[in-house]
Amino acid sequence: MDFGGPAFVIAIIALSTVGWLVNNWIRAKHGYSLEDEWGGKTERADSAETRRLEEQNANLLETMEKMQDRMVVLERIVTDKGYTVAEEIEALRDTPRPRAEDSGIPLELNKKERA
C-alpha cells in the first residue's frame, strides 16, 4: 500500500468523518451537546423543551407516588375485613342488653368477711 497516494488520504478522511458522525450520534442519543466541524460545542435546539418535559415527568412521578399511597390505604381498608365489621356491629345491635345486676362479677360488698 502506498501511504502517500490519494487512496490512503481519502481513507483517512472517510474514517475520521465516520468517527465524528458516530461520536455525535452517541452524544445526541444521551442528551449531550453536539460537536460542530471546528471542535466547538453546540447546545441542542430542544433544550428548553427537554427541561419542560423533565419538569412534567417529575410532576407526574410525584402524582403517581401519591396515588400509590392512596391505593395502599384503600387496599388495607378492603382487606381488613371491613365488611364483616359492619355485620358484627349490626349483630350487636340485635342482641338484648344485659341488666346492670347481671353483668360483671358480683362483689358481695354487703357480706362481712369470714375470719
In a domain, 27, yes or no: yes
What's the whole-model pTM score? 0.34
Q: How many domains in the chain?
A: 1
Residue 9 has pLDDT above 70, yes or no: yes
C-beta separation of 23 from 35 below 8 A: yes
**Domain assignment of residue 10, given as a range:** 1-44
Would you say residue 99 lies in a domain?
A: no
Q: How confident is the model at residue 37 (pLDDT cuts 50, 70, 90)?
A: low
Angstrom distance (rounded) from CA 95 to CA 85: 16
Q: What is the dihedral of CA 73, 75, 76, 79, to 10 degrees?
A: 160
Cell 403517581, residue? 64
Within a domain: 88? no
Interval 38-63: pLDDT, tens: 666 666 666 677 788 889 999 999 99
